[in-house]
Chains A and B, each alone.
Chain A
Amino acid sequence: MAESTQMEVETAAQTVTLPAKPTFKPLKAHEMSDGKVQFRKISVPPNRYSPLKKAWLDIYTPIYDQMKVDIRMNLKARKVELKTRADTPDISNLQKAADFVHAFMLGFDIPDAISLLRMDELYVESFEIKDVKTLKGEHLSRAIGRLSGKGGKTKFAIENSTKTRIVIADTRIHILGAFSNIKVARSSLCSLIMGSPAGKVYSKLRSVSARLNE
C-alpha cells in the first residue's frame, strides 16, 4: 500500500536522491490480518473442569489485565476462548495467554503456569511413556511409580534441581521449563522409565544441576 507506492516512486526517479527510509510503528495485534480479530480456543478436558472453575479468577485476572486479551469460557463447547482487543500491545500476548491456559489444562498449577506469561523462553514438552519404552500392565504401573517416587519425592527432586515443573498424567508426561532444563529433566525421567534406581538419578541430577545453575 504505502510501501508499494513508495517503491514506485523510487523506481521512477532513481537519479534523484532517495527520500529517507520510512519508519512505521509495529503493527498492533488488532491491525494484523487487516484489522480482524484473532482468536484462540483451548478445549477443556473433563478432569480439569472443576479446577478451572476454582481457579478461574486467577486465570482471568492476569490475562485480561496484564496481557490485555479477552478471555471467556464457552460452556457449551467446553472451551476457553481468547480474543485480541484493540489495545493488545503485542500479538505474542495472545499466544502466551493461550499457552498459559493450555498449560493449566495439562495439569500445571497456576503459579507455575504464570511463568509462561512472564518469560519468553519457557516451553512445555509432552511425551508418553510408551515413546521411551514399551511397557505393559504391571511394568507400566511400576514405571509410573518409579517416576513419581515415594510421596512424589523423585519428581520433586527433579523439579527442584532442574527448575522445571513436571506433570505425570497416567502415561503422559508434561514438562514445563526452559529448553536446557527440559532436556535434563527429560533425560532423568527417561532413565527412570528405563529402570534405573532413583539414587542413581539423584546423583546424576546433582552433578548436572550444579552445572545448570552456574
Chain B
Amino acid sequence: MSIAKASGFEALEKLMSTEPPVFLAPSSISEVARTASRYLFEKLKPFNPKSPFDQLLVDGFDAEQIWQQIDLQCQPLLSSLRQDVKRFAQNPKEIRKLGNLALKVSHEDDDVDEMDMDDDELEATESEGDEEEEGDEEEEEEDDVEEDEEEKSGDHEGIEDKFFKIKELEEFLEEGEAEEYGLDYKNKKGVAKRKKQNLRDDDDDEEDEDEEEDDDEFGAFAGGDDEEADKLGKARYDDFFGGKKKETKMKLKDLSEDDEAELENQGDVKLSTHEKDRIKLQSKIEQMEKANLDPKHWTMQGEITAAKRPKNSALEVDLDFEHNTRPAPVITEEVTASLEDLIKSRIIEARFDDVQRAPSMPTKAKREAKEMDDSKSKKGLAEVYEDEYVRQANPAFAPTTFSDELKKEASILFKRLCLKLDSLSHFHFTPKPVIEEMSIQTNVPAIAMEEVAPVAVSDAAMLAPEEIFSGKGDIKDESELTQEERKRRRAKKKRKFKAESAKDPVKKARDDTTENPKTVTGSEER
C-alpha cells in the first residue's frame, strides 16, 4: 500500500510536471496516469463509504470505464462538499472553528476573500482528496482529451496554466455583459467578480453557460451587493415571495443554493432577463385572456353585414375573395414595346386580321314575292285549287303564272334592244349575237320531281333552299314574341326606315315655290 502510495504520488507528480500536449499524444504516460488515478481513488475512499469499488480498476479498462468508476465515487462526495460549503457560507464562524484560523474584520470583500481562502484551506485541510479530486478531475478531463476546464479562484495554480487564465475569462465575460446591459455594469463588476468566483467554487461541475448566467445575474445585482451581505442570515419566506424589495436580499442565498434554482429576486429598477421575460409573458397572458372575454373582432364573426361593422372598416382589412374578372393588364414599357413591335411586323407583312364579309349567294334569285292582289279573283276557289294541283302533279302542263309571262316579255324586249345597240356600234358588233336563254327557274318542290319523274325538268335548275328562304337566328312568329322582342323589332324597323329616309332626302314640297314672295322674304328675314 505504501509502495503503491509512493508510486502513486510519484506518478501524480510526474503527471503534473508534464506538458499538456504530451497528454494528447498516445504515449507511455497513460500507464503513469493510471497509477496516479488509482492512488487518488484510494485516497478518497475513506470519505465515500457508499462507494462500490475498493480499488480503481484500471488494468484492461478503457478511459470511459475508468471515468465511470471515478464518477461513481465522486458524485456523493461533491454533494457533501457542497453542503459543507453552504454551511460555511451561512456561518462563517464555523470555518474558523474548523479551520482554526484568524479571520480579518468582516468587510464583505474580505469575507468573500476569506471565504475563498477558507474554502481553499478547507479543501486543503479537510482532505487531500479534494485537491486530488480536482486533480483527478483534471486528469480525467485531460484523459478524455477534450473537456472544458473548470474555473477556480485565483489562488489555484492547478487550474491556471498557459492556456487558461481566470482573469482573461473574467474580462471576456465583462465585455459581454457590457454589451448586453450597457457600460454601467462594468463599473459595478468589480464587486461582483469575487462573488462570481465564490460561486464557481460551489459549482464545480457546472457548465460554462450556467456560469455565464450567474455572471449576468451578478451583473444585475451589482448595485445592491453592498447592503445585502449582512442581511443574508435573516432570510425568510416572505422575503422571497413577498414584496419586490425584500427579494433582492436573498439573491446570494439563492445563488448559493441550487445552481439551476429559480431566481425570483428583482431589483426595483433592474430586472434579470428571466424576470423581464416573465413580466412580458404575464402581460401577454393578461391581454390574451382579456381578448378572449371581449366580443370578437368583426372580422372573426363570420357573416357580417355593413351595419354590424364600423364605417369604412372593410377598407382597412385585406379581404380575400374570388375575382370573377381577370385583372386589368398592367401596362408597362415592355408591354407597350412588345405591342408596337407586333404592330410594326404586321404592317410589314400586311397581315391584318380584317373581318371578311361573308360571301352572298352568287345567283340569289329573289323569291317570287306574290303580289297582293286587291281585286276580286277571277278564278273560283275550286279553280285555284285545281291549278295548284296541276302545278304540283304536272309542272309541265301547268299554265304559266303571270310573273312567268312578264319575265318572258321582258327578256324578249331586252334581246331586241341589245341587237339594235350592237348594230349601231360597229366596233363591238358581234355578227351573230348569242342570245342567252334566260332560264326560268320555277320553284317547284323537289319531291314532286322525284315522284313523277318528268323528263322535261331537271333537278339542277331548282332553287337552292337558301335562295328560297334565308333566315338568321331564331325565327319567331308574331304571336310567339315577348313584349321586349316586339319593341326590339319595332325599334329596328324604325331605325331602318330612318336610315333609308336619310339616304334619299325627302323632296321639299312644291308649295314652297308657289308661295307668296312676302312670306318667302319673311322666312329669309328670320
* Minimum Cβ distance to chain B for residue A147 (Å): 14
How many A-B residue pairs have C-beta atoms within 8 angstroms? Tell me.
60
Question: C-beta contact mask, B369-410 vs A, less than 8 Å → 1, else 0?
Answer: 110111111011111111000000000000000000000000
> Considering only CB atoms, which chain B residue lies closest to A202 in the complex?
B372
A47 and B372 CA atoms in complex are apart in Å by 32
Q: Which residues of chain A have C-beta atoms less than 8 A from B372's C-beta?
A: 157, 160-161, 202, 205-206
A119 CA / B386 CA spacing, docked (Å): 10
With contact pairs A160-B373, A161-B370 given, residues A114 and B385 touching in the complex (Cβ less than 8 Å): no
0 or 1 for each of A116-149: is its CB under 8 Å from B? (1 = yes): 0011001000000000000000000000000000
Instruction: Please give the distance in Å from A212's CB to the nearest CB on chain B.
Output: 10
- In angstroms, Cα B384 to Cα A119, docked, is 12
- Asked if B450 is at the interface (CB within 8 A of a chain A CB), the reply is no
Contacts of B380 in A (CB 8 A): 109-112, 114-115
CA distance A111 to B478 in the complex (A): 34
Q: Identify the closest chain A residue to B380 (Cβ).
A: A111
Between-chain CB contacts (< 8 Å), 30 pairs:
A109-B380, A110-B380, A111-B380, A111-B381, A111-B383, A112-B380, A112-B381, A114-B382, A115-B381, A115-B385, A118-B382, A118-B386, A119-B382, A119-B385, A153-B375, A156-B375, A156-B377, A157-B373, A159-B377, A160-B377, A161-B370, A163-B384, A164-B381, A165-B381, A176-B381, A206-B369, A206-B372, A209-B370, A210-B367, A210-B369
A92 to B370, CA, bound (A): 36
Q: Is the CB of B381 within 8 A of A156?
A: no
Within 8 Å of chain B (Cβ to Cβ): is A152?
Answer: yes
Q: In the complex, which of the residues A112, A122, A213 contacts B370, with contact meaning CB atoms closer than 8 Å? A: A213
Q: Which chain B residue shows the least CB distance to A213?
A: B370
Which residues of chain A are near B377, meaning CB under 8 Å? 156, 159-160
Cβ contacts under 8 Å, A213 to chain B = 370
CB of A116, distance to nearest CB on chain B (Å): 8
Which one of B374, B381, B478 lies within 8 Å of A177 (CB-CB)? B381
Q: Tell whether A204 is near chain B: CB-to-CB under 8 Å.
A: yes
In the complex, A111→B369 CA distance in Å?
27
Q: Which chain A residues lie closer than 8 Å to B382 at the CB level? A: 111-112, 114-115, 118-119
Q: Give the contacts of A160-193 with B (CB-CB under 8 A).
A: 160-161, 163-165, 176-177
Interface residues of A (CB under 8 A from B): 109-112, 114-115, 118-119, 122, 152-153, 156-157, 159-161, 163-165, 176-177, 202, 204-206, 209-210, 213-214
**Complex Cα distance A209/B372, Å?**
10
Closest A residue, CB atoms, query B376 = A156
| Cα A147 to Cα B194 with chains together (Å) | 131
Given A152-B376, A156-B375, A157-B374, 19 more pairs with CB closer than 8 A? A109-B380, A111-B382, A112-B382, A122-B381, A156-B374, A159-B377, A160-B373, A160-B377, A161-B372, A161-B373, A163-B384, A164-B381, A165-B381, A204-B478, A206-B369, A209-B370, A210-B367, A210-B370, A214-B468
Give the chain A neighbours of B370 by CB distance below 8 A: 161, 206, 209-210, 213
Contacts of B367 in A (CB 8 A): 210
List the A side residues contacting B385 at CB < 8 Å: 115, 118-119, 163
Of all chain A residues, the one with the shortest Cβ separation from B468 is A214
**Distance in angstroms between the alpha carbons of A74 and B261 in the assembled complex:** 142
Shortest beta-carbon distance from A104 to chain B in Å: 13
B418 to chain A, nearest CB (A): 34
Give bound CA distance, A4 to B376, whole Å. 58
A52 and B377 alpha carbons, distance in the complex (Å): 22
Per-residue contact bits, chain B 412-447, to A (CB 8 Å; 1 contact, 0 not): 000000000000000000000000000000000000
**Bound Cα distance A205, B372 (Å):** 9
The 6 closest A-B pairs by CB, nearest first: A111-B380, A115-B382, A153-B374, A115-B381, A160-B373, A112-B381
Residues in B with CB closer than 8 Å to A118 are 382, 385-386
Complex-state Cα separation, A209 to B478, whole angstroms? 14
**Complex Cα spacing A111 to B382, Å:** 6
Neighbouring A residues of B369 by C-beta, 8 Å: 206, 210
- CA separation between A163 and B373, bound complex, in Å? 12
Inside 8 A of A153's CB, which chain B residues have their CB?
A: 374-375
B120-148 CB contacts (< 8 Å) to partner A: none
Task: For A154, give the chain B residue with the smallest CB separation.
Answer: B374
A residues in contact with B386, CB < 8 Å: 118
Residue among A112, A152, A177, A204 with the highest chain B CB neighbour number at 10 A: A112
In Å, the complex CA distance between A164 and B376 comes to 12
Inter-chain CA distance A118–B381, complex, in Å, is 11
A115→B388 CA distance, assembly (Å)? 13
Within the assembled complex, what's the spacing in Å between the Cα atoms of A45 and B509? Answer: 55
Write the nearest CB–CB distance from A67 to chain B, whole angstroms.
Answer: 14
Report the minimal beta-carbon distance from B377 to chain A, rounded to whole angstroms. 5
Name the distance in Å between B258's Cβ and chain A's nearest Cβ.
Answer: 109
A201 nearest CB across to chain B (Å): 10
Please measure, in the bound complex, the distance between the C-alpha atom of A157 and the C-alpha atom of B372, giving whole angstroms. 6
Which chain B positions have C-beta within 8 A of A156? 373-377
**Docked CA distance A176–B381 (Å):** 9
Interface centre among A152, A153, A160, A161 (most CB of B within 10 A): A160
Nearest residue, chain B, Cβ from A152? B376
Distance in angstroms from A174 CB to nearest chain B CB is 13
Residues of B within 8 A of A210 (CB): 367, 369-370
Q: Which residues of B (330-386) have their CB < 8 Å from a CB of A?
A: 367, 369-370, 372-377, 379-386
In angstroms, Cα B382 to Cα A210, docked, is 20
A202 / chain B contacts, CB cutoff of 8 Å: 372
For B383, the chain A residues whose CB sits under 8 A away are 111
Q: Return chain A residues, CB-CB under 8 Å to B379.
A: 111
CA–CA, A160 and B376, complex, Å: 8
Taking CB atoms, residues of chain B closer than 8 Å to A115 are 380-382, 385
- Rounded to whole angstroms, the CA-CA distance of A145 and B379 in the bound complex is 25
Complex CA gap A80/B384 in Å reads 28
A161 to B369, CA, bound (A): 11
Docked CA distance A159–B385 (Å):
13
Bound CA–CA A152/B386 (angstroms): 25
A75 to chain B minimum Cβ distance, whole angstroms, is 28
In the bound assembly, the distance between CA atoms of A205 and B381 in angstroms comes to: 18
Q: A141 vs B369: C-alpha distance in the bound complex, in angstroms?
A: 34
* Chain B: CB-nearest residue to A163: B384
